[in-house]
Amino acid sequence: MLQDVIKASLNTRISIQAGALDKLVWKNDTIVQSLFSNIERITQFMTTSTRGDVKDISFAPRGKDRIEWAAKEMPVLRLIRERFIKDQPLKGIRMSGCLHITTETANLAITLKAGGADLMLCASNPLSTQDDVASALVSEYGIPTFAIKGEDEQTYYRHINAVLDHKPNMTMDDGCDLVSTLHTTRTELIPAIIGGMEETTTGVIRLRSMETGGVLRFPVLAVNESDTKHLFDNRYGTGQSSIDAIIRSTNILLAGRTFVVFGYGWCGRGVASRAHGMGANVIVTEIDPTRALEAVMDGYRVMPGIEAAAIGDIFITVTGNVNVIDRTHLERMKNGALIANSGHFNDEINIPELEKLATKKRRIRDFVDEYTYADGRQVHLLAEGRLVNLSAAEGHPASVMDMSFANQALGSEYMLAHAKEMQPRVYTLPAELDKEIARLKLHAMGIRIDTLTPEQEKYLNSWESGT
């Protein structure tokens, strides 16, 4: 046990400034110095492990300001929070969440805690954490958070296991890494779990595969399937924030560039329309004939990826699939090409093959790696192929996450109330909740809509009148 703590502490990025110790009196005694340093690290780890593992706790005030800034754009979640404070629907429930640690997630966490939940958080991607937010969650809001931007895979899974040590009754996932870890290495915790929530398309795909394979052992609400989630978050959120990330990391002009979008699903539609709006010539690639047709009729050129590879200036994958940009695509790319991914995992671009193709690699700007091929061509990979909008920018704007996280908050309440009637399957939120979130959002935006007249209601429920 102690060995584990020591090992973990040495691998842990905690805020201790180990170098500062060098300046102390033990300057010449490296053994004592290193012992002292390790004891200090262990003590730090033991105290921080109860409240989290963050990069630097002194970032907290900035994180708090940014969380409060996002809150202004999250009126639906605010309404839910006000009710949760009174009703305490999650009282006594231990929750473990594996989500992108952003200002919007912080507002969700604050809401769940206000509703009585005993909550711990970790990152759902090694590169999406906002370190100031993680620090603020720990020190300003008392929500243990295990997340450090740029953490390695070992730390990523150590953090997942740390939130599982919380022995949750309920899980929240973005990509299914928490639930899959539970079903592989932490099965002893499953009997205490009432149910879970899943945020994204890729997570839902993994969960459905678990359900089909008879592996899933508790019900999960697929938040992604709500209209007030994927129609807005995936489309407008990913659309805007992916373009934002490409521009922030490269400062290139999109106008006049050939911009290739792999996948014309909810995210792809958003990215394509935003790139088009900035003056880019958009090409879409698809494997689904209906979606390809939709892209054609939305005014884009559609062609096989391998053809687009030779003419594109900027490439982005949003498919939830593997090796969509493969070696054959990489080999054909023009000098100067930019490659990014906004799908959940970093395997949409075949990065190992890119590494093999290149004779030289260097980080030329933050979040931009320049790969030089043997013939001198250079291609640029953004954010190590991880979801670019959360790695090289701030992720979705708060206004859109307001609806996604309203689904999470109401979903957790719904799950608690209905878990007994549910099977170990993937469920969607009831349509009434989904519509209620849309209603609340419109209300917050000051937009009113019509209601059916009794005559129209009757008409829509009848078959008698025709031509």
Alpha carbon distances (Å) from 9 to 22, 134, 340: 19, 19, 34
Q: Exactly one of 330, 381, 390, 438 binds ligand NAI (CB under 6 A); which one?
A: 390
Contact set for ligand NAI, span 291-310 (CB under 6 A): 291, 305
Pick the piece of the chain touching ligand NAI (CB under 6 A) from 112-120, 155-163, 266-274, 361-369.
266-274
What are the residues whose beta carbons fall under 8 Å from the beta carbon of 434, sequence distance 6 or more?
226, 227, 228, 407
Question: If binding is defined by CB under 6 A, does position 319 make contact with ligand NAI?
Answer: yes
**Contact of 272 with 436, CB cutoff 8 Å:** no
Question: If binding is defined by CB under 6 A, does position 145 make contact with ligand NAI?
Answer: no
Q: Count the residues in the chain.
A: 467
Q: Exactly one of 45, 84, 156, 264 binds ligand NAI (CB under 6 A); which one?
A: 264
Q: Which residue is listed with tokens 């400062």?
A: 251
Q: Which residue is listed with tokens 């404070």?
A: 85
Pick the piece of the chain touching ligand NAI (CB under 6 A) from 176-184, 194-202, 373-381, 457-465.
194-202
Question: If binding is defined by CB under 6 A, does position 407 make contact with ligand NAI?
Answer: no
**22: how many CB neighbours lie within 10 A of its CB?**
12
Question: If binding is defined by CB under 6 A, does position 266 make contact with ligand NAI?
Answer: yes
397 vs 424 by CB, closer to ligand NAI? 397
b/e map 114-137, b = 16+ CB within 10 Å = bbbbbbbbbbbbbbbbbbbbbbbb
**Contact of 140 with 63, CB cutoff 8 Å:** yes
Q: How far is the CB of 246 from ligand NAI (least distance, A)?
A: 12
Q: How far is the CB of 293 from ligand NAI (least distance, A)?
A: 11
Q: Exactly one of 268, 312, 385, 411 binds ligand NAI (CB under 6 A); which one?
A: 268
Question: If binding is defined by CB under 6 A, does position 274 make contact with ligand NAI?
Answer: no
**Contact of 217 with 183, CB cutoff 8 Å:** yes
Q: How far is the CB of 328 from ligand NAI (least distance, A)?
A: 12
Q: How far is the CB of 466 from ligand NAI (least distance, A)?
A: 36
Q: How far is the CB of 187 from ligand NAI (least distance, A)?
A: 25
**Contact of 168 with 96, CB cutoff 8 Å:** yes
Q: Exactly one of 107, 350, 389, 391 binds ligand NAI (CB under 6 A); which one?
A: 389
DSSP-derived secondary structure for 342-360: -SSSTTSB-HHHHHHHEEE
Q: Exactly one of 342, 346, 407, 428 binds ligand NAI (CB under 6 A); which one?
A: 342
Alpha carbon distances (Å) from 242 to 42, 236, 237, 375, 385: 39, 10, 8, 30, 12
Q: Exactly one of 109, 136, 172, 267 binds ligand NAI (CB under 6 A); which one?
A: 267
H or E element that contains 301: strand 301-302
Question: If binding is defined by CB under 6 A, does position 387 make contact with ligand NAI?
Answer: yes
Question: If binding is defined by CB under 6 A, does position 249 make contact with ligand NAI?
Answer: no
CA torsion 126-210-290-315 (nearest 10°) is 20
16 vs 330 by CB, closer to ligand NAI? 330
Give the interface with ligand NAI as residue ranges (CB under 6 A). Answer: 200-202, 230, 234, 238, 262-268, 285-288, 291, 305, 318-321, 324, 342-344, 387, 389-390
